[in-house]
């Protein structure tokens, strides 16, 4: 694999860019692998990458029923932060955020990480108390956040309206080292690095069954034939329950749609990410000038990847009060993604009742920010049987009552 560099770009400019290799190989499935990962989104590819990088396990196949990064990885609003309340959550999200800072160099692919800062608006007295509590918890956890007042909010985001008639801005939880990254580039960069290690990324390959013998996983059946494996990782976001059913166990998750939209591009006016959980809306500005807007998940279970005007209207109506200038913008496009929610709004990274089978799911609407940390912990769990990052996120916590409640720090399950 050729290494990307400024020199390589200049050289190829004189060759009409005809000398570039494919970013990843178009592989055919082998009969057997040491590890099969189902799901070629960010979490699945990151798991495969860290299996190879950290543990030397490279006889790996990543199966994807559609196209690489075509699920939630390519459908999110790219927010990266780690200011969560519970210790277990803060640990995995902060690991992820720190890995994002050097990810472009690590995988030799520009993921366009932008540490522009993330603020979560406090628009009620209840939110002030909740965010101040989170700021104190973050200080103990080593996560750099602080609670700021309305004046500093206005300085950081001049287009904001502090005196909304329903929900005035009373302050914000501010994480200066949070930000955004290019979602497609994260998937493509991990895929390129995995392919370079000899792993097979197999697209248009749907898993139709999970094979086992004596309580031990032995492989999967796919639309491209049967594939044997010693270990199986299920990393398929909103379809986790479907794959778990194939493997013979149930998950405490429900799948719903999460919708988002972007406006027409405008001149730079906002260089931070703003989340307003009281009204269920959040917004940032992309490098192309579009205002990237999202809100809360749908209120009913579904598997759609399309948007609806009713939900978009609700989100935009809430944000117009806080950002009056966006009332004049036209919507450029909208979309939806399928997210899987747990009862405590925290993920599941765990071994399963089927020996050799592992599950990574339940990220709700906040999976993108966790991709590197999730992959790091999941790879360690699959390779060694235990990881400090994933220990608290086991499947058994629901039966044991060990919930990791992030209802305050997550707001709308971000």
pLDDT at 413 (0 to 100):
40
Residue 410 pLDDT grade (very low, low, confident, very high; cuts 50, 70, 90): low
Residue 408 pLDDT grade (very low, low, confident, very high; cuts 50, 70, 90): low
For residues 243 and 69, what is the distance between their CA atoms, to the nearest angstrom?
18
Same-domain status, 406 and 263: no
Same-domain status, 170 and 263: yes
Name the residue among 342, 367, 370, 338 with its Cα closest to residue 258. 338
CATH number of the domain to which 39 belongs = 3.50.50.60
Domain boundary among the residues 342, 372, 395 is at 342
Mean pLDDT of 171-196: 96
pLDDT, tens digit, 9 for 90 and up, residues 356-377: 999 999 998 889 999 999 999 9
Same-domain status, 215 and 225: yes
Give a yes or no: residue 160 inside a domain.
yes
pLDDT at 414 (0 to 100):
44
CA distances from 13 to 3, 16, 113 (A): 15, 5, 25
Same-domain status, 62 and 195: yes
Per the structure, the count of domains in the chain is 2
CA distances from 239 to 29, 296, 338, 343 (A): 22, 19, 8, 17
Residue 254 pLDDT grade (very low, low, confident, very high; cuts 50, 70, 90): very high
What the block records as the tokens of 72 is 């939630």
Please name the residue that has the structure tokens 């919930």: 403
Residue 220 pLDDT grade (very low, low, confident, very high; cuts 50, 70, 90): very high
Domain boundary among the residues 291, 314, 342 is at 342
pLDDT, tens digit, 9 for 90 and up, residues 304-349: 887 777 888 888 988 998 999 999 999 999 998 899 999 898 999 9
Which parts of 39-183 are beta strand (E)?
A: 60-63, 79-80, 118-122, 146-148, 171-175, 179-180
Same-domain status, 259 and 406: no
Mean pLDDT of 75-87: 94
Give a yes or no: residue 401 inside a domain.
yes
Other CB atoms within 10 Å distance of the CB of residue 248: 14
Enclosing domain of residue 149: 111-178+255-342
Same-domain status, 406 and 280: no
Domain boundary among the residues 315, 342, 369 is at 342
Give a yes or no: residue 228 inside a domain.
yes
CATH number of the domain to which 310 belongs = 3.30.9.10
Name the residue among 371, 308, 322 with its Cα closest to residue 76. 371
Give a yes or no: residue 142 inside a domain.
yes
Same-domain status, 126 and 147: yes
Residue 229 pLDDT grade (very low, low, confident, very high; cuts 50, 70, 90): very high
Pair 335, 183: CB distance under 8 Å: no
Same-domain status, 273 and 328: yes
What is the DSSP code (8-state) at residue 111? -
Helix, strand, coil proportions of the chain in percent (round to 5)?
A: 35, 25, 40
Is 176's pLDDT higher than 60? yes
- Range with the lowest mean pLDDT among 19-23, 79-83, 270-274? 19-23
Same-domain status, 264 and 329: yes
> What proportion of the chain, given as a percentage, has pLDDT over 70?
98
Same-domain status, 337 and 198: no
Q: Please provide the average confidence, as pLDDT, over all residues in the chain.
A: 93
């Amino acid at each position: 694999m050729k290494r990307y560099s400024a020199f390589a770009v200049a050289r190829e400019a004189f060759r009409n860019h005809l000398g570039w290799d494919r970013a990843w190989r178009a592989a055919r499935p082998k009969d057997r692998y040491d590890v099969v990962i189902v799901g070629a989104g960010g979490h699945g590819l990151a798991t495969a990458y860290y299996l190879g990088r950290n543990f030397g396990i490279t006889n790996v196949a990543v199966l994807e029923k559609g196209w690489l990064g075509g699920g939630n990885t390519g459908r999110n609003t790219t927010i990266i932060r780690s200011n969560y309340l519970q210790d277990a959550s803060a640990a995995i999200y902060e690991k992820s955020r720190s890995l994002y800072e050097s990810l472009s160099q690590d995988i030799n692919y520009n993921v366009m990480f932008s540490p522009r800062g993330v603020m979560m608006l406090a628009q009620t007295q209840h939110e002030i108390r909740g965010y101040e509590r989170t700021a104190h918890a973050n200080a103990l956890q080593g996560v750099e956040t602080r609670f700021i007042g309305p004046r500093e909010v206005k300085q950081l985001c001049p287009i904001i309206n502090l005196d909304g008639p329903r929900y005035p801005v009373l302050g914000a939880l501010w994480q200066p080292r949070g930000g955004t990254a290019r979602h497609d580039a994260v998937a493509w960069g991990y895929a390129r690095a995995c392919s370079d290690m000899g792993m097979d990324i197999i697209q248009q390959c749907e898993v139709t069954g999970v094979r086992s013998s004596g309580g031990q996983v032995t492989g999967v059946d796919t639309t491209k034939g049967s594939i044997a494996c010693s270990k199986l990782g299920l990393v398929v976001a909103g379809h986790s329950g479907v794959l778990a059913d194939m493997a013979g166990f149930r998950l405490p998750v429900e799948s719903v749609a999460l919708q988002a939209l972007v406006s027409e591009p405008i001149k730079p006016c906002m260089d931070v990410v703003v989340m307003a959980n009281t009204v269920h809306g959040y917004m940032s500005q992309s490098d192309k000038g579009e205002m990237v807007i999202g809100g809360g998940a749908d209120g009913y279970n579904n598997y759609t990847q399309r948007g609806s005007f009713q939900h978009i209207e609700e989100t935009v109506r809430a944000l117009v009060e806080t950002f009056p200038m966006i009332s004049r913008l036209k919507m450029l496009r909208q979309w939806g993604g399928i997210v899987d929610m747990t009862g405590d709004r925290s993920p599941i990274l765990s071994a399963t009742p089927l020996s050799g089978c592992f599950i990574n799911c339940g990220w709700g609407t906040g999976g993108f920010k966790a991709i590197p940390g999730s992959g790091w912990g999941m790879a360690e769990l699959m390779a060694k049987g235990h990881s400090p990052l994933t220990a608290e996120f086991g499947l058994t916590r629901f039966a044991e009552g060990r919930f990791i409640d992030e209802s305050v720090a997550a707001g709308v399950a971000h």
